[in-house]
Structure 1
Amino acid sequence: MGSTNPPPPPTAAKIRRTTSAGGGSGSIILEKYQLSRLLGRGSFAKVYLGRSLDNSDTEVAIKVIDKAATVDAAMEPRILREVSAMRRLHHHPNILELYEVMATKSKIYLVMELAPGGELFAKLSRCRRFSEPTARRYFQQVVSALRFCHQNGVFHRDIKPQNLLLDKNGLLKITDFGLSALSEQKRDGLIYTACGTPAYTAPEVVYRKGYDGEKADAWSCGVLLYVFLAGCLPFDDSNLSNMYRAMHRRAFEFPDWVSKSARIVIYRLMDPNPNTRLSLDELVKLSWFKKSFSQENLSSQNGQKLGSEFLEQNEFKYLPRVNAFDIISMSSGLDLSGLFETQANKKEMRFTSGVQVGEIEEKLVKVGAEFGYRIERGKGGGIRLVRGRVVLVVEIWEVAIELWLVELKLFDAEMVLEELQWEELKSGLGDIVLSWHNEVS
């Protein structure tokens, strides 16, 4: 991070240029934030220091994603996962807050809480290792945040020091949910996608046979605590096959300075059998974990202390933010085919809506009746619109907090609905639609 200001990102629609009082130049984003110096960069985004134009004292971190640079199919779902995960994880003191999502035709902007203390990895590198009280203090905060994630259907899957930030008071913040999994991705209660950083990833994740996201995060916590205390990785081999064989044998050693009680915690977390591995809910009940927790000066953003009762009760609930989910509704230029496959064959149409499922179904029933459709309700819920041989199946999914994807699809693939009939439905549904995601032509 240099002391000189780099050039601001390219301008986009609705972005204008201005000159700061100090003579430097910055970009004004959608008349709300001014970008300042570069904080970091990744494979598909840059993170800038930003300042609110409504309150010049409010500083934020703004991740700028260039849609043209995200043509790699692997990047698109990662962006969606990151936003979807962070939107349901508001108001936990150890999770980096996502304030707002904005977009133009060429850029996506994630406005996030600023963590000026930087990566915990940098601090660990300077210290080489943490004392046991310091390691426990950071570890308690990580576990607290992950339990909250799990309760809200988010599994991080990439816990490591590089993804842990510090705020101005030294409070830990988990970030980078780009590799996270959401509860709705489960099949038979398990997750089947393999991802993460190999040295921190649970051995069962790589086999693609299905795994428990909570237990996978618990393994990563064990590796993290080992790194905090030992100052090195327990498993570190460029040959991944050898490394995973070592994980299965638990072939690692503890430095002499690691206490017996800490060793037991790590050993139980890094159990290669997820069925017998220590869970995070079990972890918080252990005396080693609870030691000194209520006495530590762990201040939340409101200056309140976090005691052991916080881990037991975990009072935080996600509070949905009402704003336009522009990453979807302004998706031109970003291929979101994984969610919204465009079909110009008059077989289906899709739209997003911000009203509740009951209101969506009520509107569909009303509009369908106006145009001569009979309404059929399934035993397990859901509706179909029937007119003659035409049967439209309605499916509704929650894709983000207070955002629903609605699909009307012809039941018989051999049938074709005329454009006029689609347009009738579209015109009738207009007042509940945020954005159409495939135009029938």
Structure 2
Amino acid sequence: MCDSFKSEYQICEEIGRGRFGIVYCCFSPSSLDSFAVKSIDKRNLLDDDIDRQCLDKEPKILQVLSPHPNILQIHNIFDSDSHLLIVTDLCKEDTLYDRIVSAGPFSEPDACSVFTQLAEALFHCHRNYICHRDIKPDNILFDTRNRVKLCDFGSAEWFGCAGETEKMSGIVGTPYYVAPEVLMGREYNEKVDVWSAGVILYIMLGGVPPFYGDTVEETFAAVLHGNLRFPTKIFRSVSAEAKDLMRKMLCKDVSRRFTAEQVLRKFS
């Protein structure tokens, strides 16, 4: 840990490990608040330009998006020759994925509570011309007050500025959640996030993904086919309004697919 960090924070226990580094709990004696700090050893990335680009881009994107109650906030950055230390909100250990696995399908009110906050986060991203591109339950955390915190912007991309928008390209995302236009290798827009969020809502309410197969290839084929169904046995207690919203989010025709703003209006 660099000296400038040590002058402001006290390091506590390790709380996680990820692709790029170790996450610790830390404490600020001046504010009496606790935070998380991701410690990244840059010496391990010297020969990996892609990883370095992701590390450089994510803090910049989070700084543009901060503060927002439903997006992981950066509170401080310490950069030395050997390490990058990123101080963020302190969140609970379990992700939305963990909660779905442990509790099974959510009740509609509980799903609505989580999903509304996710929609708020997406709308904030998109109006700042940032597309997350890897929306999935693993990237949805909860802070100590149980608020949703969207995280992991390593795959995010700017798609415009000052009213001018551009298409994006590149196969980015995760099986089950990736939008069909991404798999087709076409240029795409920020509505890929809306598709992924629609998959999450379906899984929260039904306990299974809308498109899946026994292999990654079969899953991708199911996504491309896009045959959205609501089995009565699973969705018997789900409202017609919720099903209609999912149809409009999981619409293969991108021109007809809802925007994040239209999704949010459904809850206002």
Give the TM-score of the pair, scaled to structure 1: 0.56
Aligned amino acid, residue 94 of structure 1: N
1:284 aligns with 2:260: no
Aligned amino acid, residue 256 of structure 1: F
Aligned amino acid, residue 88 of structure 2: M
Q: How does 1:83-232 map to 2 (within 5 A)?
A: 83-116=59-92, 118-184=94-160, 189-213=166-190, 215-232=191-208
Q: Which of residues 35, 50, 68 in structure 2 aligns to 1:74?
A: 50
Q: How does 1:258-277 map to 2 (within 5 A)?
A: 258-277=238-257
Aligned amino acid, residue 175 of structure 1: C
SS of 1:118's equivalent in the other structure is coil
Q: Who is 2:27 aligned against?
A: 51
Question: Whole-Å Cα distance in 1 between the matches of residues 218 and 98 of structure 2?
Answer: 28
Question: Whole-Å Cα distance in 1 between the matches of residues 26 and 43 of structure 2?
Answer: 22
Residue 113 to residue 68, structure 1, CA distance change in 2 (3 Å): same
Q: Which digits, 9 at most, give the CA deviation of each residue in 1:298-328, with x for residues without a partner?
A: xxxxxxxxxx3xxxxxxxxxxxxxxxxxxxx
SS of 1:284's equivalent in the other structure is helix
1:234 aligns with 2:210: yes
Question: Whole-Å Cα distance in 2 between the matches of residues 161 and 190 of structure 1?
Answer: 25
Q: CA deviation at 1:259?
A: 2.5
Listed as ranges, the gaps of 5+ residues in structure 2 are none
Q: CA deviation at 1:243?
A: 2.4
Aligned amino acid, residue 65 of structure 1: I
Listed as ranges, the gaps of 5+ residues in structure 1 are 1-10, 16-27, 291-307, 309-441
Residue 163 to residue 30, structure 1, CA distance change in 2 (3 Å): same
The answer on whether the counterparts of 2:126 and 2:260 sit within 8 Å (CA) in structure 1 is no
Q: CA deviation at 1:252?
A: 4.3
Residue 265 to residue 184, structure 1, CA distance change in 2 (3 Å): closer
Aligned-CA RMSD value? 2.1
Structure of larger gyration radius:
1
SS of 2:37's equivalent in the other structure is strand
Q: Who is 2:13 aligned against?
A: 37
143-152 or 162-171, which moves further after superposition? 162-171
Q: Which digits, 9 at most, give the CA deviation of each residue in 1:219-261, with x for residues without a partner?
A: 0111010011011212222544432332233234322333322
SS of 2:133's equivalent in the other structure is coil
Question: Whole-Å Cα distance in 2 between the matches of residues 188 and 115 of structure 1?
Answer: 33
Question: Whole-Å Cα distance in 2 between the matches of residues 79 and 238 of structure 1?
Answer: 33
Q: Who is 1:298 aligned against?
A: none
Q: Which of residues 45, 64, 74 in structure 1 aligns to 2:39?
A: 64
Q: Which digits, 9 at most, give the CA deviation of each residue in 1:130-167, with x for residues without a partner?
A: 10011011110000111011111211111111111112
More helix by share: 2
